[in-house]
Structure 1
Amino acid sequence: MKFTITYFTLFFTFCFSFSQSYSGAESVEYDPINDRWLVSNGNRIISDDGQGNLSFFGTGTTSYGLEVMGNTAFGIQGSNIIGYDLTSEQQVTIASISGASFLNGMTSDGVDTVYVTDFSQGRIHKIDFSIFASPVITQIVSNTQNTPNGILYDGDNNRLIYTSWGSNAQIKQVDLSNNQVSTIITTSLGNIDGIDDDAAGNYYVSSWTPDRITKYDSNFQNPQIVTTPSLNSPADIGINQTTGIMGIPMGNSVVFVDLGVLSFEEFESNAFNFIIAPNPIDASSEIIFSNLNYKPTAIELLDISGRVIQLISSDVDSGNNISLKTINQASGVYFIRVSNDLSSATKKVIIK
């Protein structure tokens, strides 16, 4: 289903960009006690009232994920999870995770337990903050078999949901009854960063390839593209479920959008129908399109980690085949991604 809502007047009421004030915005969390947004920005936490007024949150430091639980804001600083009182803005607890490499995303059960991903080591840790003086740390997933990024606690289904990096990125879940990992969906998105949900039970993820916010229903079906302003590597998003406002951090800026007045485009997962032949590829190989619904604006070659290593073409006419004779890479497995602002599709290729 496709629907559109006229929203331009309301949109600019709720959309703000602070390109002059942010220098490393990574994670956004709403603080309902003080009606403000907290943003991890480089090595500091910034308080943002959503109206363009920014200030430092005490002396709090964090490098990546933020999580508000009760009257405490938790931030990642290296291998530490540091808790700050939301009223006094002073540090009240710290948990040090031994052997941590790159702690990144964070979520909580809203009561006393925080969960955090280790991007580099493919691990998920549980920290019980029932007693601030002596938090209890448990590694609940030792090998996610991918690079876990954003993470969300889903109490209704007794699970954690987390996003992953790379091409055709997966959204996975951890069953908290036994800590078993399974895949919810394999997307056509690349490098999914953040994840959050709204009051109606819909899920939203931010991706870098393409740069966009994608909405899924409660069963991770019927993906839709959220028509946000122009995005550039959107990171760890946050949603105020009461108002439906989403905060989107993007390094040098943060934008706030009202999901209630934005429009959504149907996600055309099969917009780009093509084959690559011959494959394994050689100088005669081509991308052969069929039923091309939208004109691609980029055809890229990716390595197995999802990193773009070559732009094959940036100008594709409907019905035209694209030669792959310009590819000159070492033997191995690669991916070719065809995309535009609305959709993308990726296929595996082999170079002998």
Structure 2
Amino acid sequence: MAEEKKAEEKKLFKVTIDNITVDVEPGTTILHAARMVGGDVTPPAMCYYSKLKGSGGKCRTCLVEVAAGSTADPRPMPKLVASCRTTVMDGMIVKNITSERVLEARAGVVELLLINHPLDCPICDQAGECHLQDLSYEHGKEGTRYEFKRRTFTPHNLGEYIQLHMTRCILCYRCVYTANQLTNKREHGILDRGDHAEIATYIEKALDNEFIGNVIDVCPVGALTDKTFRFKNRVWFTKPMDAHRDCPTCSGQVQLWMRGDEVYRVTARKDEWGEVKDTTEGKPGWICNDCRFHKKSVKDWVIEGPTQVNRHSVISQGHYVNTVTPKETLPEVMGGRAPKLLMNIHKVSDVNRPEIQLSKIEGPAHSDDFKPPTP
């Protein structure tokens, strides 16, 4: 009897997604089954986060069509379902990019998310790693039909480390779940309802907790950004490096975003779905504020090597791993003599001052930081 029970528990379900069949355990969601297949078969997800309990079911970007419910009941589901909240059944047939209904509905969801979103990608720190950018390019339409004034919000101060831009928020609730599940006391949440709903703190409280910086990592848009990195560089000009340190508060396993020998910012390590990776010991990879905001020097870290950028991203365009350096021909041309430096631009320029490190400047970089000292 016990053996029969074990055999039933080990039974896997067969689910077909976009004509690709995969075996999954009972209780697996359609989204996770699609992630096992990978590629374009995987629906996008803006609110779901596998590390956060209760997330998902809000943004509707992961809608899919269930063409056959199961082998026992092959009838199709009448409406599109959220793949992050719908579990698979044995023999289920799912359509994602092969369904015209899904593509049309997803384009409508993208249009709705962008109705009030400001077109400030050129000045947004999230540009280049923004999930909403990817979503709009891959699943949105070229133009917009919205002709009305976009909504605005009164700015809220969340403290010295986190910058809130509520006009960019899509109300995915990820930051609220993060504060609920990682911190001892949550200070922020959703205020008001409907079109007036916003992320804010009651009576202007600052977000002050050792793990509150993780709300920056889970935000899929530029609504919550790092003040210590604000306006200092573009992510595609930096190189992500895996590093670690002995931290008494967290795992200390992070990603350094470097340009040359400067550490511009520190984040948790993320997987190809943009979610925080587990550590090498299998524990949650959340990092503390001390590692994130205060350790901005190379000597603070043990650098393991360049991060493997798996997903298509503008960051990967300048991220070269295992490349072969071409042979330097200049010494041969010059007969072994070193090239002569005709002009050092730092000696004649008032802007490019070598003693200034952007990563060490408090707050956003300003033209005043580069003015020559007055005699």
The alignment's TM-score, normalised by the length of structure 2, stands at: 0.29
More helix by share: 2
The alignment's TM-score, normalised by the length of structure 1, stands at: 0.30
Bigger Rg, structure 1 or 2: 2
